[in-house]
Amino acid sequence: MTTASTITNHEAEIRQLIANQQRAICTKDVDQIMSRYADEVILFDVKPPFQTKGKDAVRQVWEDCLPYFPDTFEMETRDLTVTVNDDLATAHWLFRFKGEQDHPAMKMWMRVTAVCQKHQGDWQITHEHVSVPFDPETAQAVFTLNP
């Protein structure tokens, strides 16, 4: 049976995993980014190929993507919600990159859902879904989400 203190500890661990992941992204540390993913991870991303399976393929996505980011930037997170039990957790939140004002990556809010599972005592990301909202009337992405 899961106790309230265990749930609280697991939630804190998931929040720390997300914070560490964001820090690794901001420092463009691919090894640290990848250390949080399960071997069989599936990533649904905002850009092609839209679905990436397996840790090696996800590593390639990050290696291809990070050079397009500015040298320095931060991430702002809002509305982080975590639901957790003994060995499975879900989290969802809004985020945006902050830094060079005229850089395209700094001009949009994105949504993330992550599913994490305990493996040998450590939480790992098994599924991550990143999306950008769109206006159904115009079929255009809505980059100025007002959370």
Q: Is the dihedral of CA 86, 5, 75, 107 positive or negative?
A: positive
Instruction: Give pLDDT tens digits for 36-50.
Output: 999 999 999 988 888
pTM exceeds 0.85 for this model:
yes
The domains found in the chain, sorted by start residue, are 4-141 (3.10.450.50)
Determine what percent of the chain is predicted with pLDDT higher than 70: 96
**70-74, long-range: CB < 8 A, 24+ apart:** 70/99, 70/100, 70/103, 70/105, 70/106, 72/26, 72/99, 73/26, 73/97, 73/98, 73/99, 73/100, 73/103, 73/105, 73/106, 74/26, 74/98, 74/99
131, β-bridge pairs? 111
Mean pLDDT value of segment 108-135: 93
pLDDT higher than 60, residue 102 = yes
- For the cut 60, the answer to whether the pLDDT of residue 147 exceeds it is no
Does residue 1 surpass a pLDDT of 70? Answer: no
For residues 18 and 49, which has the higher predicted lDDT (pLDDT)? Answer: 18
Which tokens sit at 8? 């609280």
The dihedrals phi and psi of 56, each to the nearest 5 degrees, come to -65, -40
